[in-house]
Amino acid sequence: MSQVKEKAVKLSRGTLIRGWLLTAVAAFALGASTNCQMQAQEDPLGMSNRKFTREETMLLNMLHSKGSVGYLILESVRLSKESTRSLEKALFRLREIEKSYAKSKGQPDTRYLATTELKMVQAKQHSEELEGFTSDCFHVLKSSIKETLLDASLKGEGKAGKVTAK
């Protein structure tokens, strides 16, 4: 019998990480494509084989295409989150600057910008509320479109399946 010599292979950390990332991306891509195919096959309402009218297609496109109602609502959610973060940063800076100024004047407990701070806190709260309302608006729109199309689909089946007796 011949003996097989084993060699140790050294890989750099960067090479290992790239290999893992490529493996993860490939696995995700394969899983995502098969998942989409499975979802298309599992349509219990039979809406994937159905031909939509122009108006129903417009309803479907309200959520997805750029410039659509859903897109604009989600853009508003993103902007309100950004607004909330900006107000938090501004509030933090205001407090730090006020604290530094009060300390320089020898009165560390004096609040020179209390009214401004109060207004900023209120603005931040309103921004958070707006974010919640806008997000809810998108979810309501999405469910309303689904319900509307489902109702139209069921009514269409009812009309086609009715047999009138004379």
pLDDT grade, residue 129 (50/70/90)? very high
> Where along the chain do its domains lie?
66-157
Mean pLDDT for the chain?
Answer: 81
Q: How many Cα atoms sit within 13 Å of 111 on the Cβ side?
A: 8
Give the model confidence (pLDDT) of 25-76 as tens digits: 777 777 655 555 555 555 544 556 677 788 888 888 888 888 899 999 999 9
Does the pTM exceed 0.75? no
Model confidence at 83: pLDDT above 90:
yes
